[in-house]
Amino acid sequence: MAFTQIFTLLLLPILLAGLHGWFTNWLAIKLLLKPVHPVNILGFKIQGLLPRRQADLADRISEAISREFLKEEDIMVFLKKIEPAKAMRQLILDKWEEKVGEFLGTMPFISMFVSSDKLIRIRDKVAEIFSTEAEKYTELLVQSLETKIDLRDTIKRNILAFDVQRLNKIIEEIGYKEFNEIAFIGLVLGVFIGVVQALVNFFIFRGGT
């Protein structure tokens, strides 16, 4: 058997099948993400699966997350666990130092009539009053959120607003190794099919001679 016949009957089928398997898998992976915007090729509109189905994906993902992972009642339980009195007191203390200090800085003569000890007592009294009422306000806030919060809609809007090109880049960075493995699997399967075809060609050739 001449080299030309060996190449044509045995090597060429393996080479072509291997390239075909690698290329089709590589192309399939690319078409999951790109092109981001529709492109017309010979009358066919081509667009990546993720960009084309972003609205459907947002709807399905938001539904799954709100139903299975991040339920509204879980958020309500978390909010109810917060210590409102302690949080309110700390907020007032922080804001008092910031706002009252700023106010006294613009009107220093007030310190001539109100001592720092008296300001501290006023601050502590205000903090005590508001922290005592904080529990009631927290309950009202939770009740209001229970009637208004819509996790599914919020998640869906955030997914729809997320830049598709940025998402594609993230997916490519995360799945780089796996994508290469899929393309390599296509190459291996293609080579296997090519070997089978080469063996068929070889036996046909031997039978013909």
Give the Cα separation of 133 and 11 in Å (integer): 84
- Is the per-residue pLDDT at 202 higher than 70? yes
For position 36, what pLDDT does the model report?
Answer: 83
pLDDT band for position 71 (cuts 50, 70, 90): low
pLDDT band for position 185 (cuts 50, 70, 90): very high
- Is the per-residue pLDDT at 105 higher than 70? no
For the chain, how many structural domains are there in total? 1
Give the Cα separation of 25 and 206 in Å (integer): 34
For position 49, what pLDDT does the model report?
Answer: 83
> If you average pLDDT over residues 172-197, what whole number do you get?
90
For position 20, what pLDDT does the model report?
Answer: 94
For position 191, what pLDDT does the model report?
Answer: 93
> If you average pLDDT over residues 10-25, what whole number do you get?
92
For position 48, what pLDDT does the model report?
Answer: 87
Tens digit of each residue's pLDDT (9 = 90 or more) over 131-182: 776 666 666 666 666 566 666 787 788 888 888 888 888 888 888 888 889 9
Tens digit of each residue's pLDDT (9 = 90 or more) over 22-47: 999 999 988 888 888 888 888 888 88
Domain region containing 18? 3-208
Q: Does the bond joining 35 to the residue before it have cis omega, within 30 degrees of 0? A: yes
- Is the per-residue pLDDT at 109 higher than 60? no
> If you average pLDDT over residues 197-207, what whole number do you get?
81
Residue that wins the pLDDT comparison between 20 and 133: 20
Tens digit of each residue's pLDDT (9 = 90 or more) over 81-90: 666 667 777 7
pLDDT band for position 193 (cuts 50, 70, 90): very high
Mean pLDDT of the chain: 78
Least confident of 15-19, 95-99, 113-117, 196-200: 113-117
